[in-house]
Structure 1
């Protein structure tokens, strides 16, 4: 069951986590994860998996990092500057939460744009401090 979860279900749940923002829909994915862990019923096997919330935070902070270094598409960059639009409600729940998370980071930023290093440091920091 763990192999099925890791191979088929988890990748679908991880796909574009940052798009979900921090809306009420994320509770559904967290409940699905919890249910899968109960069905697998083997904490030694599931304990090493980072929660979806961790992946959501790393993905969201990675988008902020790309924006910070101006390494982002024009379309997405313009979304950060648009006035409140009902069609962008997920974006506007994403921005306040991710800004707060971004501002809580210590000095873990690489000296130049390096998304891989940034993701590693953010993941390590979040694992130590929030999980």
Structure 2
């Protein structure tokens, strides 16, 4: 059967050809990965804005979303691509309790607001609470750990450790640099899975020397991502999120204790902002000694040195 539009599935070139085909639809405000595309708009009123001003800002934001969606629809008509409006979701990320009654529309279909979005296997709630996502990962890890427990007699402790790292731990660390600042009550479910695995492996010495805690691995992962973002080895939008260097501190006595890549932390008003990925990691970043930064850009070297530093801090008496 001939293909009139799109690319055939199963070919090694299908993904590349599809990306080439939709490349020009990724206009400003649209971000995509494979066949998942997201339209992003925001408004940022002043802290003293009135309710009417906030409503006006919201209406203008929805209008901008509608214009972008209309451009996507027009591009699809011109390039033989059909978009399914029923599969399109809208989510409003805000701390305000006032509901947004005006909804964007796509192909003359009003989009319903959802309280969470699924993006590439990662769930983001409208209030940026990652408890539900972490709980789902803990349950998935528990199922995998249960399978591992049933077949443990067929494997040595070393093999069980390898299987845990590949199958269970990887599940509990997906996108961990984003949600690592979640409440301790949510992270406790993952720590519980880790304790179960240590008992499953059955060799305390092997576990002690080869299994780093999830807490420290999350910290290393966050710092490694921040390292790439700081030096611009990422999308420009991510690089722009990194706070600038505080040049006004460089002539003070305090600057002697800072490494050359220290960043200036923004003013923090809420706990939610303080535990967000960039701010939380920037605090850890500024505490690092200059010795962990390689002379030339290298994520591998930086990651190894940070890991060694954290392990030495963990081993040293408090």
**TM bracket (short chain):** 0.7 to 0.9
Deviates more, 1:16-25 or 1:108-117: 16-25
Aligned to 2:193: 32
Aligned to 1:67: 229
Aligned to 1:109: 293
Distance 1:42 1:18, change over 3 A: same
Distance 1:93 1:112, change over 3 A: same
Distance 1:7 1:63 in 2: 21
Instruction: Check whether the contact 1:20–1:26 (CA below 8 A) recurs between aligned residues.
Output: no
Instruction: Check whether the contact 1:61–1:102 (CA below 8 A) recurs between aligned residues.
Output: yes
Distance 1:32 1:66 in 2: 30
Distance 1:91 1:4, change over 3 A: farther
Distance 2:235 2:193 in 1: 32
1:35-75 deviation line (CA, Å, top 9, x unaligned): 22234343123212111111111110011111221112134
Instruction: Check whether the contact 1:21–1:94 (CA below 8 A) recurs between aligned residues.
Output: yes
Instruction: Check whether the contact 1:19–1:91 (CA below 8 A) recurs between aligned residues.
Output: no
1:82-131 deviation line (CA, Å, top 9, x unaligned): xxxxxxx6995223321221111111211221111111111111111135
Distance 1:92 1:73, change over 3 A: farther
Q: Specify which of 17, 24, 29 is matched with residue 176 of structure 2.
A: 17
Q: Specify which of 208, 218, 224 is matched with residue 47 of structure 1.
A: 208
Aligned to 2:280: 97
Distance 1:45 1:66 in 2: 32
Aligned to 1:77: 239
Distance 2:194 2:233 in 1: 32
Distance 2:206 2:288 in 1: 30
- Tell me the TM-score normalised to structure 1 length: 0.77
Instruction: Check whether the contact 2:216–2:310 (CA below 8 A) recurs between aligned residues.
Output: yes
Query: RMSD value over aligned CA atoms?
Result: 2.6
More strand by share: 2
Aligned to 1:127: 311
Q: Structure 2: 5+ residue runs without aligned partners?
A: 1-151, 153-159, 244-271
Q: Structure 1: 5+ residue runs without aligned partners?
A: 82-88
Structure with bigger RCO (C-alpha 8 Å, 6+ apart): 1
- Tell me the TM-score normalised to structure 2 length: 0.35
